[in-house]
Amino acid sequence: MKVLTVKPYPETQTALLPINRDFVVKYDPELYYLIDDYHWFAKKSFHCWYAVAWTNVNGKRKLLRMHHLVNSTPKDLVCHHINGDTMDNRIANLQNISEFEHAKYFSYR
């Protein structure tokens, strides 16, 4: 896996993972062990692009979203990207909230 590491802010490090369609995913370098086993690619879901990978769960193929893996999101909650950048999967940018709370951030009219 090709990984670039940069320092956008003095107090933190961010690892960058280039994936398909010229997307680059940001994540915390200490979480490399979590994402290293997967082949990540960009997939559009509704109006946003996400970093996803295929995995097998109980013999069935399932789509895994990187932000859910990184933030250990329970099935009853939604993983919200605080800054709105769905390719920024750093822990500081992810928040597990209810679907009701998440709906407040969007206007579907």
Q: What are the sequence ranges of the domains in the chain? A: 4-103
Residue 76's pLDDT is: 95
Q: Structure pTM?
A: 0.82
Contacts of 91 (CB under 8 A, 6+ apart): 28, 31, 70, 71
- The CATH number of 4-103 is which of 3.90.75, 3.30.300, 2.40.128, 3.40.50? 3.90.75
Residue 108's pLDDT is: 58
- Write phi, then psi, for 101 (nearest 5 degrees): -65, -40
Residue 9's pLDDT is: 46
